[in-house]
Each structure stands twice: as structure tokens, then as C-alpha cells.
Amino acid sequence: MLRIGHAHDAAMRSGVTVLVPEGPLSCAVDMRGGGPATRETDAVGPDATLGIAHAIVLSGGSVFGLAAADAVSAALSARGEGLALVPDTPPVPLVPAACLYDLNNGGVKDWGETPPYAALARQALAHATPNADKGSLGAGYGATAGLWRGGFGVASERHGEATLTAYIAVNAIGSPLMPDGRTLWAWPFERDGEFGGHRPGPMDPAPALPPDIKGAGATATCVGAVTVSTVQTRTALRRIAVMAQDGLARALRPSHAPFDGDTIFALAPPCGEAVDDPRETMALGSLAADCVARAVALGVWHADEGFAPTVRASISRGSPL
């Protein structure tokens, strides 16, 4: 349904991911947490006239990362993609975006008046492919999940004729690990041992705030998108976006915190004459949450090299990731 491009700056410890569909898709959005950094979310909100997207941009850099969407919009327009509203004027692409906060991860951020996110976005767009890599790349390059490395994860699920896919940049305040320090919270959704095959044993109830979360006042945010391959009404798509957010709560403890800006877009082919089927919407939303949980786990699992002993030692010493 779409191509995906990643670009990052190793010294800056940040990056950009661009999701590019073959043509404009219906789009809805759900935002949670108290600190979002977003663009064009009203254009795909419930009151929007069109509610479509020509691309989705996910970026590090907090508010500075929003420049990535400007660059993608300009590049798509130059290609002739977008809404031709008036003859002999540039086409207008709709490019919603959401950014995570990675400004305090130790990377070099002395960019002055020229943040590099526009340049990274052009690079990501130019190299977009159907491949869905995972780990420390794109918008997840400088991300952290609690005290662990964050990352970028992708997971898919089939439901009848529909394929759902979640694309998530994981930069959570919360921890991805259960109190045993080895089992991911998302373990019930694992497929074929894809993130280690660990299962929890008997343990005391989990604390409300695990010890391996980010410190007080930390700013984070998980951002991403869920695609559905079958036609959906905008009402159904909005509900799928809402339900997909529950995947973050299944994979991270806590989630949707006061300084998060968790944002998930939902995309599907334009609806035409489609009619809502509430039971089908409910099934798709539930599976979308499963995909989000798996994508979170896969992103951190690959970024942390399967939580290798060297990574664990770094965490135990309090070393920055």
C-alpha cells in the first residue's frame, strides 16, 4: 500500500521517516498524552472536508522536526502530486506529521536557524522502498523507551480480505519490560519468537511506575501510523486510530503520560460508497492495537540487539544510550 523511507544523522542522534502511498488515502488521527508536536491533524480530523493524506511524516526533533513535512510537501508538489485547486497553480499535497522529543538524548543539536530535518526528509523520500526495516533508524534513530533504546517497529496482521500494518517510532517515557527485566510487556502478541520468546513467571504485581522509566518531567512521545488495505469510511477509520492507541498501553508501562504526545494516523483506500459495519470496525481496531503492540516490541528488540548483555550492563551502570 505504501513505500517507506528513513534517514538519520548519527551525530545529531535523530532522524525522519516518510510513509508514501501510491495515491492519496483516507486518513484519520488520534492523539493522546499532553504534549503533541503535530502538523495538519485538523486536515484529517472528523470535521475536515477531504480527510486524505498524500504522505505521512514521522520525525524526531520535537517542533523542529515539523520542517520535515514542509520539505515532503514541496517535493511532492514539484512532482505534480497534490490537490489541483486552481489552474496554473502548484498542486497542494496534504502531509500530516507527528514528531517525538529526542532533544535531550546526547546528540549534537547546535543547528542554529537551520535544523536538518528538511534535508533528512528529502533524503528519506528519495530512498523510500516497500521494505519495512526495524530497529534504530528513521524517526526512531535517537529514541528511547524508558531507560532502553527506542526504535522503529513494523508489524502486520491479516483479517479476512484486509491486511493491517502498524509503523511505530517508539520514544516512550514508559518501560517496555516487565519487572522480571527480560520479558516484554507485549509478549502475548509475539509471533514465532520474534522478540525472544520470553514468558513471565510468577512475580509480584508490577509497580505503577517501574524503575526503568524516564525521570520526572521527561518528554517523550510515540508516533506512527496504521494502514488498512480495505476500503473504510472516515468514521470507521477514526475509530481504528483510537483503538490502535491501546497497543501502546499493551506494550509500555506507563503510556499516554502528561509529557507524551502519542499520535497515531490511520490510513485506508478512499471509501466511495462504503457503509460502516461496526462489528468489522471493532475487529479491525482490536487487531490494529495488537499490531501496534508488536511493532513497539519489535522496534525496541531490534534497537537493543535483543537486550544483549552489553546493553543491560550499560543500563545497570546508568550510562546514556
Place of cell 475509530: 239
- Residue range 111-138: average pLDDT? 96
Q: How far apart are CA 172 and CA 188, in angstroms?
A: 20
Q: Looking at 122-136, 159-173, 273-287, which range is the least confident one?
A: 273-287
| 3-state helix vs strand vs coil in the chain, percent to 5 | 25, 25, 50
- Domains in the chain (CATH in brackets) are 2-316 (3.60.70.12)
Which neighbouring-strand residues pair with 151?
Answer: 170
Secondary structure of residue 272 in the 3-state scheme:
coil
pTM of the entire predicted model: 0.94
Kindly report, residue by residue over 287-305, the tens digit of the pLDDT: 999 999 999 999 999 998 8
Q: CA torsion, points 58, 262, 251, 239, in degrees to nearest 10?
A: -100
Do residues 139 and 59 make contact, with C-beta atoms less than 8 angstroms apart?
yes
**How sure is the predictor about 276, in pLDDT bands with cuts at 50, 70 and 90?**
confident
Burial of 108 by CB count in 10 Å (0-12 exposed, 13-18 middle, 19+ buried)?
exposed
**How sure is the predictor about 204, in pLDDT bands with cuts at 50, 70 and 90?**
confident
Kindly report, residue by residue over 25-72, the tens digit of the pLDDT: 999 999 987 889 999 999 999 999 999 999 999 999 999 999 999 999
Place of cell 504522505: 55
